[in-house]
Structure 1
Amino acid sequence: MARRRELKGIANAINESFVSRNNDFKGYWSIGQIKSLTLNNGLTSMTFPLMLSKANPTSGLQNYTACHYANMLKSLLKKQKLPNFWVNNAVIEIDFNPNVELAQLYEYTTSGELFQCSCQITSDAGRDYTSIIYGRCWPHAIAQEFKSTRNSS
């Protein structure tokens, strides 16, 4: 029997996929590209809504990312046999200036600047199911990165 608490697992799955090194856009890690995009626009964070009426990837990193993860949400709901109407709202937010006190709990030895990524799913009952992951990255720099050999968008 399906239960709304399974939305927490879906939030975790989406968030893990989002911060994964396999999350590529045009062959380069999406997180680094998103960091460059936020810096170039004078921002410290970026939000991707996952509740799209029709999720069809278009050109551009933001549109592609939102559509890709909106489709992932739909797919995971279907796989878990959860009705779509149980999800009132869903967003991914990546913050490149996270709360340092909380972030100190997640110190890594890898290089890069700290980021916090959260996926929040709000149910039709008004309850929030949130996944938070910390990581490190540098802004996208073609000269310092290897392009993926996988076929990607």
Structure 2
Amino acid sequence: MSRRSQFKGICHDILGTFVSRYNDHDGYWSLGQYVALLELLGEDELQLNLRDATETPDSRIIAASEEYYRGAVLRMMEANSMPQVWLANATIKVSIVAPSKVACEIEIVSDLGRTYQSKRTIIVRPHDPVIERRRTGRFGPSNQKGR
């Protein structure tokens, strides 16, 4: 029998894949790309909406990440025999907290209004294709390639 408290484990697992080096977009670490986007926009925080599609995402990396992680939450709920109506809202936030640190947080709100979260602080530099090597398709899994 499934329980809403399983959202806590889903938060932990989703955030683990989100901050992973295997979470790449076009062969580069997504987290570095988010930081570069934040610096370009002059912002300190971005939010990915995992419940509903964003009408006009700030970039295609955000749109791709929202789509992937929205599906990941739903797949994990299905694997745990949790009905989709239990999911009221879900977001992932990336916030710059220091020159080379970001705080990543996932928050899932159940239909009963209870909030489940997981947080991590990660050391990350902004994406720079001049000094980074691009990952090619055959080396290791990429979170956003598989469904």
Q: How high is the TM-score relative to the length of structure 2? A: 0.87
Following TM superposition, where does structure 1 have runs of at least 4 consecutive aligned residues deviating by more than 4 angstroms? none
Partner AA of 1:3 in structure 2: R
Q: Which runs of 5+ in 2 are unaligned?
A: none
- Structure 1 residue 113 and structure 2 residue 100: aligned? yes
Q: Percent identity?
A: 31
Alignment partner, residue 106 of structure 1: none
Alignment partner, residue 64 of structure 1: 64
Match for 1:123 among 110, 124, 127? 110
Alignment of 1:132-147 (within 5 A): 132-147=119-134
Partner AA of 2:126 in structure 1: P
Q: Which runs of 5+ in 1 are unaligned?
A: 99-111
Alignment of 1:11-50 (within 5 A): 11-50=11-50
Contact 2:11 2:108 in 1 (8 A): yes
How far did residue 53 of structure 1 move? 5.7
Alignment partner, residue 52 of structure 2: 52
The 1-side partners of 2:93 and 2:26 are apart by 21
How far did residue 150 of structure 1 move? 2.6
How far did residue 144 of structure 1 move? 1.2
Q: Secondary structure at the match of 1:96?
A: strand
Partner AA of 1:85 in structure 2: V
How many matched pairs?
A: 136
